[in-house]
Amino acid sequence: MKIKTVKSWLAKSIAALIAGGALAAHAAEPTPITMCAFTFMGEGGPEHQALLDYQTAALSWGVKLTLKPYINEKIVAEELKSGVCDIANMSSVQARNFNKFTGTLDAPASMPTYKHLQMIMGTISKPNAAKYMRNGDYEVIGIQPAGQVYLFMNDRSIQGLSDMAGKKIGILDTMPEMRELVTGLGMTPVSSTMTNMFQKFNNGATDITGGPAIVYDLMELHKGIGTKGGILSVPLIQSNNQFVARWSKLPEGFAQKSREFFVNNFDKNLAVIRTAEDKIPKNLWVSLPDSRMGEYDLQTRNIRLKFRSQNIYDAKMLTLMRKVRCQLDATLGECTAADAE
């Protein structure tokens, strides 16, 4: 081979290698996506740290996630709809606007323990359940435990839902089922927002408020509980945060990896919740007597069935949660009831 020919061949080879390297580098570029990040406690708290962990994981799935912080989840949902961001995290209540199936996870008393939630999450996060995660332009790409919702009361003599007749309770406008439930119990619902609901309880404008254990210290609820109040130990709702995305903007396989990430990190997220629950003084917890549990189960079941008939709750999800309840406790009457959910 002549020297000139060799030089030409080397030049072409080097050029091809450079071009190939450039193409490979370009192909490896992560997809930039903006996430509207809802953090009720603001930056620096455990919620924010969990989002940073998610941001790091997303990079390994081919997405460079830019977190845009918010403290109002209603605005977060609107921003997702308007295209300001392509991923957003929000409560199950807000997520119901995008996916009724996963939005039914906050049905009253549908999951009595964290074990129930963990089993449900594991089931619906499997690849064969992916079809239920997508609705129209949106897809639920992760579910994160947010803590059981307890009732904080200024009167510890309350030992059941029927004892709350005549009491005032703060109700979020985004939760029509709770308004329906408390009105049916003879209570007075007081329209509230996430930011003022706890303030109203502390200043005596309401007698009862609901929330996960983490708000006890954060919102200084000892002021509203006072010396005569307490916290009903039976959780009313299994709250959760859901990550909703515009699926067409995501790289192939991202959604499934994201759902599995939250399942794999369930215990880590739950540890933060457990810490908050353990910090609450033991003398504040008010146990629901065994004699009142039947009443509680009936009242909460009736609201689930009513909202199923009104097409607010998804029937398939209610059935799945009932199957999990029966798997963990086969002695429940609903397990053999003809009109089981």
CA dist list (Å): 38 to 74, 79, 84, 130, 239 = 9, 11, 14, 24, 15
What single letter denotes the amino acid at residue 54? Y
Residues across the chain: 341
pLDDT of the residue at 35: 98
Query: Contact at 8 Å (CB) between 238 and 110?
Result: yes
**Dihedral angle computed from the Cα positions of residues 241, 89, 191 and 188, in that order, rounded to the nearest 10 degrees:** -10
**31 bridge partner residues:** 63
For the chain, give every domain's residue range.
Answer: 28-146+240-279, 149-238+282-335
pLDDT of 326 over the 80 cut: yes
Q: How confident is the model at residue 291 (pLDDT cuts 50, 70, 90)?
A: confident
Most confident of the following: 14-28, 173-187, 234-248, 288-302: 234-248
pLDDT of the residue at 12: 54
Q: Is 190 helix (H, G, I), strand (E, B) or coil?
A: strand
Query: Contact at 8 Å (CB) between 308 and 299?
Result: no
Dist CA 25 CA 17 (whole Å): 12
Query: Contact at 8 Å (CB) between 190 and 172?
Result: no
Q: Do domains 28-146+240-279 and 149-238+282-335 have the same CATH topology?
A: yes
Q: What region, left, alpha or beta, does residue 132 occupy, with left being phi > 0 and alpha being psi -120 to 50 degrees?
A: alpha
**Residue 115: burial class (beta carbons within 10 Å; 0-12, 13-18, 19+):** exposed
At 20-72, the pLDDT tens digits run 444 444 456 999 999 999 987 667 667 888 999 999 999 999 999 999 999 88
Q: Decide yes or no: CATH 1.20.950.20 for domain 28-146+240-279.
A: no
CATH superfamily for 149-238+282-335 is Periplasmic binding protein-like II (3.40.190.10)
SS3 string, 272-298, reads HHHHHHHHCCHHHEECCCHHHHHHHHH
Q: Which pTM does this prediction carry? A: 0.87
**37 bridge partner residues:** 69
Phi then psi dihedrals of residue 188, to 5 deg: -105, 110
% pLDDT > 90, the chain: 69
